[in-house]
Amino acid sequence: MGEDSHDAGPPDERAQRLAKVDALRAAGVDPYPVRFDRDLTLGELRDRYGQLPADSDTGERVRVAGRLMLIRRQGGLTFAELRDRAGHVQLFVDTQVIGADTHHTFDHLDRGDMVGV
């Protein structure tokens, strides 16, 4: 019986992830930075800004970190849920705001990855 592409098993997830790490390194990105200093936990972020009406902008920038629990990609937009021990928040990633290269890098993250934003 000849080898058929339908007989192949599922793609090797470890190999795919290692390829993504190699691609990040080739692009000059450190996939495992020594540290990421966050300003707030996600619970503190919700406590501080959770009452803001939609489409409001404080002009402030904060740094948060957590694990990606959900990712929905829709062309130039990506929605992701970020979770830490203190809470969760939805990320809205827009190519128009962060640029195509950065958005492309974000879209190569996987569910379960630890990230800082």
Q: Can you give the pLDDT at residue 90?
A: 93
Give the residues across from 66 on adjacent strands.
115
User: pLDDT 10s digit of each residue in the chain, 117 long?
Assistant: 444 444 455 668 888 888 888 988 998 888 888 788 999 999 999 999 999 998 888 999 999 999 999 999 998 899 999 999 999 999 999 999 999 988 988 888 889 999 999
Q: Can you give the pLDDT at residue 3?
A: 45
SS3 of the chain: helix, strand, coil, percent, to 5: 30, 25, 45
Domain residues for the domain of 106 are 37-51+64-117
Spatial distance between the Cα atoms of 112 and 109, rounded to a whole number of angstroms: 9
Q: Can you give the pLDDT at residue 82?
A: 97
Whether 95 is in a domain gets the answer yes
Whether 103 is in a domain gets the answer yes
| pTM beyond 0.85, yes or no | no
Whether 25 is in a domain gets the answer no
Q: Can you give the pLDDT at residue 2?
A: 44
Whether 111 is in a domain gets the answer yes
Spatial distance between the Cα atoms of 44 and 82, rounded to a whole number of angstroms: 14
Whether 114 is in a domain gets the answer yes
Number of domains in the chain: 1
Whether 3 is in a domain gets the answer no
Element (H, E) at 23: helix 13-26
Spatial distance between the Cα atoms of 76 and 95, rounded to a whole number of angstroms: 5
Whether 7 is in a domain gets the answer no
DSSP letters spanning 33-74: -S----S--HHHHHHHHTTSPTT---------EEEEEEEEEE
Give the domain CATH number at 71: 2.40.50.140
Q: Can you give the pLDDT at residue 92?
A: 92
Whether 85 is in a domain gets the answer yes
Q: Can you give the pLDDT at residue 1?
A: 43
Q: Can you give the pLDDT at residue 54?
A: 83
